[in-house]
Amino acid sequence: METTEENIEELYRTLKRNLNLMRELDDQIDDQLIKFIKNTSVFIKDKENRSFEDMQNFISKNTQILHKIDLESQEKLNLSMQSYETTDQSINFLEEQIARAETSIKLGEISPSTPLSHLTMKQLLTPKEIAARKISHSAEIPIDPNEPTYCYCKEVSYGEMVACDDDNCEIEWFHIECVNLKAPPKGSWYCKDCLARRKHR
């Protein structure tokens, strides 16, 4: 059964991971905006000599950039919502534990000096409630069916992840264990598909 300490530790891990991912997404969005501004500036500077084909290429490139910014912004929103929901669940869990502990203290079932973090849900539930409900705990974060999937495994984001540095990578984000890494690389990193494609250029 989950304790208060375990609940808070899980919340900390979830928020830390999501905030790190959101910071990385911010950096990626900034990079895309720089590309957008640069493309626009270069095109406008010599627009009088541009052909119709040049204009089509310019529009196509900037449309792709804006689409990528939109996707990354949506990922940030999803991570933000997931963080909010996980925090809300943790607050509800803690409030429930406090309320049940207060009831148990009044009934003399536990000592007022017992640390709340040492109490399990089983200790806080009455025998009738234990029989009426089956509490299961998973260390995994509740999965939102609308949350985007990543990596070769097509799973949602969890744990440490690494981004492919190829701008045209179809997957972009990978779980480090799925790509046989022990830790995120310090320099540039390319997935096996993009690496193979770059070698054949």
**Tally of residues, the chain:** 201
**How far is it, in rounded angstroms, from Cα 14 to Cα 30?**
24
C-alpha–C-alpha distance, residues 62 and 166, integer Å: 17
Q: Is 151 annotated as a binding residue?
A: yes
118 annotated to bind ligand: no
153 is in an annotated binding site: yes
| 191 in a known ligand binding site | yes
Q: Is 194 annotated as a binding residue?
A: yes
The annotation status of 137 as a binding-site residue, yes or no, is no
Q: At what angle do helices 4-45 and 52-106 cross, to 10 degrees?
A: 170
- Identify the sign of the CA torsion 83, 89, 91, 93: negative
What is the Cα–Cα distance from 23 to 25, expressed in whole angstroms? 5
| Residue set of the binding site for Zn(2+) | 151, 153, 164, 169, 175, 178, 191, 194
Binding residue positions: 151, 153, 164, 169, 175, 178, 191, 194
